[in-house]
Amino acid sequence: MKKLLCFVLALIMALAMASFSTAENALAGTYDITVWVGESIVDLTKKQIDDFNASNTMGIKFNYTVEPVSEADSATQMILDVEAGADIFCFAQDQFARLVQAGAVAKLGVAASEFVRTNNANGVVMAAASGEDIYAYPLTADNGYFMYYDKTVVPDEDVDSLEAIIADCEAAGKYFAFEMNSSAWYAASFFFATGCVSEWETDNDGNFVSVYDTFDSPQGLIAVKGMKKLVDSPNHVNSSDGAQFNSNAAVVVTGTWNYTLIEGILGDNMGVADLPSFEVDGINYHLGSFNGCKLLGVKPQRDAKRAAALNQLAQYLTGYACQMERFETVAWGPSNLEAQASEEVQANPGLAALLAQSPYSIPQGQIHGSWWDIAKIIADDVKAATDDNGLQLALDNYLDRISALFTLSDEVKNGWTVIGTYNSTDGFFYTDYQNETRSNWGEDVPMTLFADGLWKTAPYAMEKGVEFKVRKGLSWDESYGNAEGGNFVVDEAGTYIVVFDPVTCEISLQAAE
């Protein structure tokens, strides 16, 4: 029923956009709305809505409530209760597919879709699309990564060579921080360098229907040979935290969000550059990267006039002027093409490095939620390999696992599992009642559906501080933790059954008898 309602609402909105495009003053009126944005831009967003109220010539006025909801949490809250969710909300692009599937974000009309395509970088346009349809307005294009380095350790002439940088770090007894062993987002850099792709196709409802993946190929073998040079170094640290510069690091691969922190640590010794190249068999391959964004969605509306007015506001908030204002106020990198080309944006060292990396970056389109768990273990397999056969086996295992995603049974697709970590040096999640250890965010613990409609695990001994989430279909497309969207944390050691209510999406612990 929810999907049918959302479909009807989306159809109404699409018709509304067509109807009102030729009679803009028909939108005149006062509208009470709720807007969700990240805490850092709450006050700025209020100002920008005030500016829209004062400047639009359509007679539109919004009485607004702007609430601080993070880009990571907004999708979960929208999906839990679309009706109670915000009218306009900011979200991270990796939440896009689940919002479309839940009918929590409205498809844009023809004119609005053209606005998005014309004014924004192609990569972020792709991030807002499912099939041929556009569902959101790009807000930023700064969710990518590049290299920060200590100029007293890495000279300028070495910044283009992975091998030279590794040698510099080893000679100085400094660390090279690059999150290879726990993040597919970073590990994919080596594959993108050699031209490998992992392109996932969704239908117009946001469901994944196929994948074109070339990681297991001759080019992929070159990629893991380059990766092995880094992960085999005793000075490699698996991290993307800028604070590593306080812990003897000379290089950290991370993004703009760490710029202020790193500048405060290194001062004038901070260097910023695009990623380096690695060499295999006499050929250099420039490391690639993902690039991502924040998006602005409009909730499906029953009232066609209200829907059209909300889309006018969404276009204003994601236009050139507002994106430049966010850049000047909180240093968010714009997706708007005109803003990207401005002198002010080009002069920002972090964004300049991100733009220098952009020719080697891959837009983070819609990716199956299970891929992140599958791809992140490649670096561990690469480090364990002792020869080319071992490297090839790592690629073969990867291909087998992504291929299996399209043969999952309905029971698995619709089932719930637990995955998590353990706050001790042994790296295990917890130990079950049969003394079987579960790995650190690497293996799902099964849950069983009971007659009362609740999903439950077997009893497990858990230490205080154990963290986990419950997820559906072995995928991160739909997952739940605590009420704020973070991990569920065990407050007191004991033997517990994890209980999940799929109606309220609440997790609880039941003491085992």
Domains of the chain, first to last? 2-140+293-341 (3.40.190.10), 144-290+363-406 (3.40.190.10), 410-511 (2.60.40.10)
Say what the pLDDT of residue 513 is. Answer: 76
pLDDT number for residue 36:
97
Residue 365 to residues 118, 253, 362, Cα–Cα distance (Å): 18, 21, 9
Closest Cα to residue 331, out of 352, 351, 303, 310? 351
Cα separation, 77 vs 510, in Å, equals: 25
Q: Encode 371-395: b = buried (16+ Cβ within 10 Å), e = exposed.
A: bebbbbbbbbbbbebeeeeebeebb
C-alpha–C-alpha distance, residues 186 and 240, integer Å: 9
The three-class DSSP label of residue 371 is helix
CA pair distance 449, 503, nearest whole angstrom? 13
Rg of the chain taking only CA atoms, in angstroms: 24
Strand stretches in 170-214, DSSP E: 175-177, 198-202, 208-213
Please give the pLDDT value at position 440. 61
Residue identified by tokens 């056969």 is 389
Q: Whole-angstrom Cα distance, residue 398 to residue 217?
A: 11
pLDDT in tens, the chain (513 residues): 444 445 445 544 554 454 444 445 899 999 999 999 999 999 999 999 999 999 999 999 999 999 999 887 898 889 888 999 999 999 988 889 889 988 999 999 999 999 999 999 887 898 899 888 999 999 998 889 999 999 999 999 999 999 999 999 999 999 999 999 888 999 999 999 999 999 888 776 667 888 899 999 999 999 999 999 999 999 999 999 999 999 999 999 999 889 989 999 999 999 999 999 999 999 999 999 988 899 999 999 999 999 999 999 999 999 999 999 999 998 899 999 999 999 999 888 888 898 889 889 887 767 887 888 888 889 999 999 999 999 999 999 999 888 888 777 888 888 999 988 743 333 334 443 344 444 467 678 889 999 999 999 988 888 888 889 999 988 877 889 888 778 899 999 888 999 999 999 999 999 987
**pLDDT, position 427:** 35
Q: What pLDDT score was predicted for residue 13?
A: 54
- Report the Cα–Cα distance between both ends of the chain, in Å, rounded: 40
